[in-house]
Chains A and B, each alone.
Chain A
């Protein structure tokens, strides 16, 4: 069976964003997560479901058991748990081929720079986190901060040792990505084509309809209660 395309993912993401802002009750968030699980399964991403559920449960548990002195951090975990339906829908976009996403956005008359920015923002979160871990491992391997508390003893040095490699990596990444994109003709004025299916078909309509009905039921349930 054909999977729903990027147009559907974008529409569902928009609906999910509106619903996340509108819903107030906790059970509604649970239902939204369940609905997102169904959407992920529909998109043949069953393997990704479990980690998302684990992160969702852990965020809720941490938000509840975290000491009140951590204030805003508690709110961050709670907000992150609330945001999980969006992350899950966003994952379908992250796992869509960038070419199809760019093609769809271009046909929706989104300016090309914005299209490129959306693709970079969606796909670079995991890359940047990996870069941060690599810098931390590099610092440890060189024995600069041998103990976990060493960075606390020399905060200025830690700041420089951590942020400068990060800045340089970001500069290198942006230069490499821009060169690669230019080489592949990103600035070409021709209309973009894609080898991946991106037209709105019946499967997209069904997926969108299911999401709208279920989303309305979740929102309506909150009003009735």
Chain B
């Protein structure tokens, strides 16, 4: 049976908050740059973002190793996208953050590479869902906002990817795969460089 986690072990220190903030700044910069991969396909953006951010997440979560790392990361990401005017990102990402935390529940959840990878992949499934959720709940308002920066042809192409169920499922699957693969690579790099140098 899994041992209970002592409250002291899970108490966040100021050092943890600073680590979380600095790593999140880098992850947000990468998240902002990654949409450039739409030139390849809309389907791969979430997956590539997950793949690139994974080493940072693996090191951050192993370094902090306290309940709430993924949830706080989700909330910070959601708040960042509010500044772009996309308030629903916070809701979707916070929900996925809670689901991720449930996956990581228990002792040393963040040190377990498999559970950590699943939770991280779920977070990026949520990130990709952020493009689909507004089309389900506030389709007209969302299309009106997008129409200011898209031509009719580009809009139709984008709607084809985001509102066709098979395409949406493929996109979510690619995001999950990117997250899992990224965590796998992240863990290899973590053991090869960070752990060996006793940095975390």
Name B19's closest neighbour in chain A (CB-CB).
A174
**B22 and A120: CB pair below 8 A?**
yes
**Segment from B1-9, B106-114, B150-158 that makes contact with A:** B150-158
- What are the residues of chain B within 8 A of A83 when measuring CB–CB? 83-85
Is B145 interfacial (CB 8 A cutoff)? yes
Interface band, chain A? 35 or more
Secondary structure of the A contact surface, majority rule: helix
**Segment from A142-150, A160-168, A197-205, A213-221 that makes contact with B:** A160-168
Chain B interface, number of residues (Cβ within 8 angstroms): 52
Secondary structure of the B contact surface, majority rule: helix
Is A51 interfacial (CB 8 A cutoff)? no
**Segment from A1-9, A37-45, A69-77, A99-107 that makes contact with B:** A69-77
Complex: how many Å from CA A125 to CA B80?
12
Residues from 166 to 200 in B contacting A, C-beta threshold 8 Å: 185, 189, 193-194, 197, 199-200
Residues from 43 to 93 in B contacting A, C-beta threshold 8 Å: 45, 52, 55-56, 59-60, 63, 76, 82-87
**A125 and B146: CB pair below 8 A?**
no
Is A223 interfacial (CB 8 A cutoff)? no
**B149 and A63: CB pair below 8 A?**
yes
**A17 and B35: CB pair below 8 A?**
no
**Segment from B23-31, B96-104, B119-127, B132-140 that makes contact with A:** B23-31
A-B interface, 7 closest residue pairs, ranked by CB to CB distance from nearest = A71-B38, A78-B149, A120-B21, A72-B35, A68-B154, A178-B15, A174-B19
A-B contact pairs, 16 of them (CB 8 A): A20-B83, A69-B38, A71-B157, A73-B39, A75-B35, A83-B83, A113-B14, A121-B25, A125-B25, A132-B29, A159-B52, A163-B56, A166-B26, A167-B56, A178-B14, A178-B19
User: Which residues of B line the A interface, CB within 8 A?
Assistant: 12, 14-15, 17-26, 29, 32, 35-36, 38-39, 42, 45, 52, 55-56, 59-60, 63, 76, 82-87, 144-146, 148-151, 153-154, 157-158, 185, 189, 193-194, 197, 199-200
User: Which residues of A line the B interface, CB within 8 A?
Assistant: 17, 20-21, 24, 26, 63, 68-76, 78-80, 82-83, 86, 112-114, 116-117, 120-121, 124-125, 128-129, 132, 159-160, 163-164, 166-168, 170-171, 173-175, 177-178, 181-182, 186-187
